[in-house]
Amino acid sequence: MSETNAQKVQEVIIAGMSKTVANYDYAMSELEALVAANNMHAALRIDQGLEKPNPATFFGKGKVVEIKEVAAANDLHIMVINADLTPSQVRNLEEQTDIQIIDRTGLILEIFGNRARSKEAKLQVKIAQLQYQLPRLRTSISNRLDQQAGAAAGGGGGFTNRGAGETQLELNRRTIQDRISHAKHELKELNKDEVVRRAQRDKAGLPNVALVGYTNAGKSTTMNGLVKLFGKGEDKQVFEKDMLFATLDTSIRQLTFPDNKQLLLSDTVGFVSDLPHNLINAFRSTLAEAANADLLIQVIDYADPHYKEMMATTEKTLKEIGVHDVPMIYAFNKADLTEADYPNQQDDQLIYAARDEASLQALTSMIKAKVFKNYVTTTLLIPFSDGDVVAYLNDHANILKTDYLADGTQLTVELNAVDAQRYEKYVVTPA
């Protein structure tokens, strides 16, 4: 595909059922943003006012006729619906409207399929795509998602039923099930490596801080700002862009502050309302950084009028992935796009702007107050023969006072739990 074709925006219809969704206008604006994230443009919006979906076609008969006429009159060939449809609803709608139907889960899977970069993310998305595709082998008239899942699985143009009968359909189903099992096995092997890496990080005794929140709230921008201030020289910036699901991979960076205190900071995949369960399950290992964190920073788009709904979505998703009772800082980002004064801290809440250094310093102070509160201040007397210990502490601890005595170097120092235990033998017992 040429670069010009790859960048061509597809005009689509978006549609929803207003009486079955709370905060309907917000839900549709979110759908429009998701559509844009998939290189599409919502050219038209169609609303249905039924109390409950039609079990056969989701929309009522009159609305189905309207959709067909509107699509034909405007030369539109795709409709994205803000709901999860059954395979039969998709099939019936496509047959009666002569356009392609994409439901909410299908749309999000397309976005994730296009954004996955690492081997782990690609496997996670592939599993979710194939699980979604399995009951829909005969529903898609254009095979858009089928082709993506087939390509992701390494198998050409998908597994849609080509009219070869029930035997071929069953063969296709078994093929997809086999590929799901194979992908899960590959992912399990990758996860073993990550478990080892996580154990090594835990052994180092460094606090783990995870950025979580709604997609496009500014997590990556916040992380890049902190890495620029406190990261190592070779630390790379993480990818950031003003769009939903700019990155799917969890990035981890080590921060070292002027007082030599250190922590690990992770940037996790963003959330969105009604994130498909297959994706939550597939990304559970990636989101384990949040579950294992000592502190969560929930980054919130304070400039968005629906930020409270976004916070509710984040809280709900965290519960779904098993995150409970982890301390949290509520970081209200993009204050520079509002009339609010910033940085402004109250208890565990901070109004800030991720590109403002004073804001990042305020956030840093809050983080340090949380994760280093259990550090101990102690006095060590280290013999001159153990100069390597003094060198280590000068590089990795906050030295408050240094005295050179006849029998060694005496340090008053702040230590984390691991180092406090490691150097317990040097502790000077008060007289």
Sheet-wide strand order for 376-382: 376-382, 408-415, 398-405
249 marked as binding residue: yes
420 marked as binding residue: no
39 marked as binding residue: no
pLDDT for the residue 290: 78
261 marked as binding residue: no
178 marked as binding residue: no
**Residuewise pLDDT in 10s, the chain (431 residues):** 344 445 688 999 999 998 877 788 888 988 998 999 899 999 999 999 888 899 999 999 999 999 999 999 999 999 999 999 999 999 999 999 999 999 999 998 888 888 777 787 788 888 888 988 888 876 444 445 445 545 544 444 444 444 445 577 788 888 999 999 999 898 888 877 766 666 665 656 688 999 999 888 999 899 999 999 998 765 566 655 555 665 666 778 889 999 989 899 988 777 887 777 777 766 666 666 677 889 999 999 999 998 998 999 899 888 887 888 899 999 999 999 999 999 999 999 999 999 999 999 999 999 999 999 888 999 999 999 999 999 999 988 899 999 999 999 999 999 988 889 999 999 987 64
Cα–Cα dist 351/35, whole Å:
30
270 marked as binding residue: yes
15 marked as binding residue: no
288 marked as binding residue: no
Cα–Cα dist 374/242, whole Å:
37
pLDDT for the residue 423: 94
> Roughly what angle, to the nearest 10 degrees, separates helices 119-133 and 166-203?
150
Tell the residue number behind the tokens 């092997």, with chain if given: 189
Give the pTM: 0.77
- CATH fold, domain 206-372, is Rossmann fold (3.40.50)
336 marked as binding residue: yes
216 marked as binding residue: yes
CB 17 within 8 A of CB 48: yes
Cα–Cα dist 72/340, whole Å:
47
Q: Is the peptide bond before 343 cis (omega within 30 degrees of 0)?
A: yes
215 marked as binding residue: yes
pLDDT for the residue 160: 44
CA 373, 417, 424, 403 dihedral sign is: negative
106 marked as binding residue: no
Cα–Cα dist 227/224, whole Å:
5
Nearest Cα to Cα of residue 140 among 165, 161, 167 = 161
pLDDT for the residue 3: 41
CB 248 within 8 A of CB 269: yes
159 marked as binding residue: no
CB 382 within 8 A of CB 405: no
CATH architecture assigned to 10-102: 3-Layer(aba) Sandwich (3.40)
278 marked as binding residue: no
70 marked as binding residue: no
167 marked as binding residue: no
113 marked as binding residue: no
158 marked as binding residue: no
- Distance set, CA 152 to CA 100, 105, 134, 149, 415 (Å): 21, 17, 14, 5, 48
DSSP letter, residue 247:
-
247 marked as binding residue: yes
388 marked as binding residue: no
250 marked as binding residue: no
pLDDT for the residue 100: 95
Cα–Cα dist 254/230, whole Å:
8
Q: Both tokens of residue 310?
A: 């976004």
CB 107 within 8 A of CB 277: no
Q: How far apart are the first and last CA of the chain?
A: 78
